[in-house]
Each structure stands twice: as C-alpha cells, then as structure tokens.
Structure 1
Amino acid sequence: MKFEILKDKIDTLLLQKNTIGIKLQAICDLLEREILHYDWVGFYFKNGDKNELKLAQYTGEETEHTIIPFGKGICGQVAVTNKNFVVQDVSEQENYISCGWKVKSEIVIPIFVNEENVGQIDIDSHTANIFSADDEEFLEFICKKVAKIL
C-alpha cells in the first residue's frame, strides 16, 4: 500500500540533519506530490500564548488564512476539541473557513507534545468524500513522528 511506502519516506525525511522547518516543508511537498487527492497540505501551530493558530509550512495554493482563531473553521475547532476532524463535504459545515472554491473536503489531525495540542496537519482536497480511515491513520502516524522532533 502506498501509505506504508510513504511512512518509510517520512521516517527518512525526519532523520535528515535539517531544521524542523525544512523537514516539515519536505513532508508537505511529499504528501502533495505523492497522494493525488491531497491538493493542499500544511501545518498550523499554536501562536505563542494566543488562542490562535499560525500557518507554518505548506504546499499548495496560497491562503489568506495565516492566522486562525481557536474555534473558527475546521482547524480552529480541532485546536479546541483536541480531536481529529474529517469533513467529507465542506459545504455541509456551518463553521467552515473557505480557502478556495475548489476545496470540497478537509481533514485535520492534531499534534500533541507532552499531551498538549501544539498544532496540526491540515489537508484540503478538491474531491468530495475522498478521505478514508487509512488517510486518518496515516496522518496520525505523521503527527506522532512530527511531535518527536518539536
């Protein structure tokens, strides 16, 4: 399965002697390139002591959503609930921040360091109803690996 091969590639990327930022960018680039339904891949992290997320590394179309208040949109909700959020059809979400008319579905997985939600990986797809339990498990794997380098 493709996810198993990508897990090995993620492990290799994280072992390289690069900065955290370079490693995170490499993960974004790899996922967007290798998984056809990952059209935008990015990391958001808690912005200091503020109750907001700040966009870090990403791959895909530029977004104006570089700061997201806790509770706002899918990412902001994950910051509050500390739970994965899979949205198969963004048009059905009332508390959704539109990143572009092409986005049809989104998955956001939190990153925990010492049991604290410090950030998340956010994936947008131009295809509705595309994310599976395999996507969720794979992204959880990535978040656990990323947490170890933070």
Structure 2
Amino acid sequence: MIFEQLKPQIESILANTKTDKNDCLLKICELLENKIDYYNWVGFYFRNGKKEELILGPYVGEPTDHTIIPFGKGICGQVAVSNKNFVVPDVAAQDNYIACSITVKAEIVVPIFVNGENIGQIDIDSNTPDPFTEEDERFLEFVCSKVAEIL
C-alpha cells in the first residue's frame, strides 16, 4: 500500500533539522498531493495564537480565500472544537461546509495534538467522491503525530 511506502519519506522530511518547519510542512503537502491521486488539495491549519480561529499554513493545490477559519465553521472549524477526525464523503451533503472549489467532492481533516492540545490539523480535499478510507485516517494520524514532534 502506498501509505506504508510514504511513512519513511514523511519521517525523512521531518528529520532534517536544518529545514525550516514551514518548509518541512510544505514538502509533506507536496509529497501527499503528488503520490496519492485523490489528494487534490493538501494543507495545514493552525490555531491563531489564543484566538478561537485557525490560520492557513503551508498548502498545495488551488489558492483558497479561506486563510482564517473561525472555530466551529466548516469542517476544519468543527475539528478545532471536537478534537476528532472528520471524514466527509460528500461535501454537498454537509450543512456546515465552506466551499473552496466547485470541484471538491470530499474532505478529510485530522487534528494535530501537542501535549494533549489540539494546535492544528491537516486538511485534504478530493475531487473524487467518497475516496477516503480508514487507512487514510490511520495514515494521516501517523503524519500528524510525526508533525507534532517538530512543533
């Protein structure tokens, strides 16, 4: 499976202590978007200081107007409140969804925890309907746990 092949590459990117953290995160976004066909937008959002909002970090894919997302709004904002993974097989069926592009059909968001605190998340949009499996969730939890080690 592609996920097992990507794990050492994720670890290698994050092991390079000479690379800026944001550059490491961007390299992870590029790797995932390039290697997984149905990952069409990959990015990180982080809590904006003490504010109840997320701010966009490194990402790859179509530009987005959603650089700041209030807690509770959209899928990312809901994950900031719930502290749980959120898999959306069909974004059109979600009431509290912030549309980034008309091509997006599905989304997955997995939180990043540092010392038990939700400090951000990885957000992935797909132009493929219902592509995400439990394997995606477990892999992205791995990615988030490794990212947490450098934050």
The TM-score normalised by the length of structure 1 is 0.99
Quote the sequence identity (%): 63
Where has structure 1 moved over 3 Å in runs of 4 or more?
none
Q: How far is the alpha carbon of 1:7 from its aligned partner?
A: 0.3
Match of 1:41 in 2: 42
Mapped pair 1:31 → 2:9: no
**Counterparts of residues 137-148 of structure 1 (less than 5 Å):** 137-148=138-149
Q: List per-residue Cα deviations over 1:103-129 (Å, max 9, x = no partner).
A: 000000000000000000000000111
In structure 2, how many angstroms separate the alpha carbons of the residues matched to 1:5 and 1:57? 23
In structure 2, how many angstroms separate the alpha carbons of the residues matched to 1:148 and 1:8? 15
Aligned pair count reads 150
In structure 1, how many angstroms separate the alpha carbons of the residues matched to 2:63 and 2:33? 14
**Counterparts of residues 56-71 of structure 1 (less than 5 Å):** 56-71=57-72
In structure 1, how many angstroms separate the alpha carbons of the residues matched to 2:101 and 2:32? 20
Q: How far is the alpha carbon of 1:8 from its aligned partner?
A: 0.7
**Counterparts of residues 1-150 of structure 1 (less than 5 Å):** 1-16=1-16, 17-150=18-151
The TM-score normalised by the length of structure 2 is 0.99
Unpaired stretches in structure 2, ≥5 consecutive residues: none
Backbone CA RMSD of aligned residues: 0.4
Q: List per-residue Cα deviations over 1:45-67 (Å, max 9, x = no partner).
A: 00011100000000000000000
